[in-house]
Structure 1
Amino acid sequence: MSAYKTRLWTYSLPVALLLLAPFNILASLGMDIYLPVVPAMPGILGTSSEVVQLTLTLYMIMLGVGQVVFGPLSDRLGRRPVLILGAIIFVITSFALAGTSSAGLFVLLRLVQAIGASAMLVALFATIRDVYAIMDRDRAVALSQTVGLERFRSDRPSVSTAKDVRLACRHTHVSAGPSIEADSV
């Protein structure tokens, strides 16, 4: 039994997506924004390309290991404190990374940034699981398959994301505006 008091989630699905999506986006940006500048990083940091590639590898390893650590921690302390702590760590290290020119410090800060990202991700997905676990199993599986398949069928990611939200709302009986069919966009 957890030490924190459980509160009822009262937000609709569109509001929940608006509240939780920024944390998922932040964690993804830690890798997506960094990748295009990887070829220029050895010159910027005055180091070898192997050290820059090491920052990518260590980030991914720490992202996975951190989730193993922060999962039980979020069960014990609650989702919100872990989520907020992860966001604070991630943002502070992101600003520090923007200002550093030392390769060693850069590697260390990327590790710390991955720790923040892993805390955000594990708390985010645990929150979603906690809130939407009340769906019956068949509807939850159908919803996740529909949303997942729709994303891969679309050649326009922004349209696909909008369709995902509409489909999720439709399958959970939440109104998010006019309905759109999967093939109409």
Structure 2
Amino acid sequence: TGSPYGKFGGVRSVFTTMSELPLLGVGLALIYFKTGNLMLPSILEYQAAHGPLIAQVPLAFVAVFVCALSKLKYSPFAIIYGKDIVTGYQTEHYGVLRSALLTGESLMIFTWITLLVAVFFGTFPLWAMIIMGVILLVAMSFIAGTTPLLAPHHSIQFQGALIMTILAISLIIEMVI
């Protein structure tokens, strides 16, 4: 249709990915250094022997949580959903295709929450993990509902600063312990 909003949404999507991947990499690296493996069954075995990872590597949880939060619509880091570009990359889509995109985005959020709960709270019983998933969903929704959307450059700066902070704190902890 010639609308520029799809292009702007696509560019912002690339910026979001470029700022999320290093943050996710830092979170995964911290998990790997603690457990020695990134396979989910091995992480669950490690948690069964040593306790939940949330108590051992909370900075990894923060990193992965911010990545999940950036995928949530209207969160401070979801620059691809800014009102200034209408509906971003979805501007060109309507009907069944748009509903499929929205369904996929909803499933993505529940997948992120499931991974967060499994990786960081894997030793709890199923009912407790479901409750923790609901708590995470409510917390993410509260953050998305009460905080303003950051400008694209502010979002990238914040996530970059968070990466450096997590790395610095992890280095200090390793040097002290």
Per the normalisation by structure 1, the TM-score is 0.31
Per the normalisation by structure 2, the TM-score is 0.32
Bigger-Rg structure (1/2): 1
